[in-house]
Structure 1
Amino acid sequence: MLRVNPNIYKRAYTTASNIQKTKPSNVELTWSKFFQIRRQERKINIGSSVLSAFLTSNIAFAYVATIEIDPTQTIFGLDPSIVLIGGVMTSAAFGYLIGPSIFGKPIFQLRHKSVLEGYNLKNKIFLKHIIKNRVDASKQSFSNPPPDYYGEKIGSLKEYRRWLRDCHAYRIKASEFI
């Protein structure tokens, strides 16, 4: 059976101007640089969470401040002011949760546009390592808590190696029922 190389069609329709427009597909990123960028992403996301929580709570408070409260009427069997304050706090919590997706991710992508492709590639590799090496959390106990399950606190190669040692120690303790 005759097999045709699929790249032959790409070569036939590629011009010199198309080749010059393409970006390098693989931006090399060292692990230390990856962890540095990952730490910056975490800081940006936390900052954006705080900012969006502040904004949403202020918007909710501005709305609540315009409402006339009748102290004789109850809402869900509670004093109206308590319910409205709970609504402001709920909007702050909601703002904290949506902050990274609304503000954090776009800011991070703008700041690290040149290494974003390499960062995403390294992040996929890193997460595959985490998934492969993480422990079974169903065997946890008070005397044997599992290490960082998602690897969120790993910020350097040294911390990654420490995490691997902790996972190994956890597996040994879990198998010996200590």
Structure 2
Amino acid sequence: MFQVIGLASRASRTQAMFRSLRFNSSNTQMNWVDFFKLRTESKRINVAASSLTSLMGAFATLAYLGNVEIDVEQPIFGIDPFMVLGALVVVGGVAGYLVGPSFGVRVFNMKNSKVLPAFKAKDQIFLQRIKRNRVDPSSQSFSNPVPDYYGERINSLSKYKQWLRDCNAFRRKTEEFL
């Protein structure tokens, strides 16, 4: 009973979102091909932003550590100082890499501001389809791995259809062999 109420409220929220999109934007209709192109573009922008911020973080850490006076003969926490400095530069690069997608999302939103409401609505529909059709990973094994649980590698209609076939094959294998 609680699931029916939850589904009904979720459906009414989705309908309200689509109604507000219909009145707030001029072009709410987006086909799946355009959606997957924008989704691929978003991922590429995020990777590029992560790469740039990773380099900036590593170089900023290196520039800071280059100005700090360190006695190279004294160990830091019992470790060679050059190893510690190298590890700090790597940590600065990793921190920059983690900050990158926040900049990438902003760049993508500014670049595609006209179609952003339609893209977000289509993305919500896509994620609901992924959630509805994905398999239960509790029965996975080395010989029967779960097919892309979050749908991250789906970037076209043909890959989505292949993902659906893979999910059905996974379900069939788990029913036959368990």
Q: Is this a same-fold pair by TM over 0.5? A: yes
CA distance in 2, matches of 1:50, 1:78: 29
CA distance in 2, matches of 1:23, 1:150: 30
Structure 2: gaps (5+ residues): 1-22
For 1:164, the equivalent position in structure 2 comes to 164
For 1:129, the equivalent position in structure 2 comes to 129
TM-score (norm 1): 0.83
Q: What is the number of equivalent residue pairs in this alignment?
A: 156
Q: Secondary structure at the match of 1:117?
A: helix
- The structure having more radius of gyration, on CA atoms, is 1
CA distance in 2, matches of 1:139, 1:79: 47
Identity in percent: 46
Matched, 1:88 2:119: no
CA distance in 2, matches of 1:24, 1:56: 38
Q: Secondary structure at the match of 2:43?
A: helix
Superposition pairs of residues 1-178 of structure 1, within 5 angstroms:
23-24=24-25, 27-101=28-102, 103-177=103-177
CA distance in 2, matches of 1:127, 1:97: 23
Does the 8 A contact of 1:69 with 1:81 survive in 2?
Answer: no
Does the 8 A contact of 2:30 with 2:119 survive in 1?
Answer: yes
**Deviation digits for residues 101-149 of structure 1 (CA, Å, limit 9, x no counterpart):** 1x20111011101100000000000000001111112221111111111
Does the 8 A contact of 1:27 with 1:117 survive in 2?
Answer: yes
Does the 8 A contact of 1:71 with 1:80 survive in 2?
Answer: yes
Does the 8 A contact of 2:27 with 2:115 survive in 1?
Answer: no
RMSD of aligned alpha carbons: 1.5
**Deviation digits for residues 19-54 of structure 1 (CA, Å, limit 9, x no counterpart):** xxx743661100110001100001000000000001
Greater shift, 130-139 or 113-122, is seen at 130-139
Does the 8 A contact of 2:74 with 2:81 survive in 1?
Answer: yes
Q: Secondary structure at the match of 1:130?
A: helix
Higher percent of residues as helix: 2
Q: Secondary structure at the match of 1:69?
A: coil
CA distance in 2, matches of 1:132, 1:75: 52
